[in-house]
Amino acid sequence: MLGEHEIGKKIKTIRKEKRLSQSKVVEKLIQKDINMSRETLSKMENNNRSISAIELKAISDVLGVDISDFFYKEEPGDLVTFFRKKNFSKDSLKEISKLQDMVKVFINHEKMYKGEQE
């Protein structure tokens, strides 16, 4: 589980992934009756202000993510798990799995070539 100081970073990361400015997020929050300034959102993202549960729920709605996305870290290194969370089809997941296996083989070959094999 992420600490409170990491929630702000996660908000910022997701906001940037969605290519939304702080001003645009604030504009959408105001439409949801959450009165917030751009400066306040900036303070939240930089861990200079705490975030209420109501604010966090509204931010998750504006960003189009589940509120739990702010609390759990994604496991690095497994593309299939990553894409499964994004609701890709089973056929796509099979192809991604094949691609991931191919990448592992290439990485292993590179290690052998460089003499780094364990």
pLDDT score of 115: 79
CATH, domain range 4-70: 1.10.260.40
pLDDT score of 84: 64
DSSP the chain: ---HHHHHHHHHHHHHHTT--HHHHHHHHHHTT----HHHHHHHHTTSS---HHHHHHHHHHHTS-GGGGT-PPPTT-HHHHHHHTT--HHHHHHHHHHHHHHHHHHHHHHHHHT---
pLDDT score of 69: 83
| Over residues 71-78, mean pLDDT | 60
pLDDT score of 73: 59
Q: What is the pLDDT of residues 16-62, one digit of tens each?
A: 999 999 999 999 999 999 999 999 999 999 989 989 999 999 999 99
Q: Does residue 71 have a pLDDT over 50?
A: yes
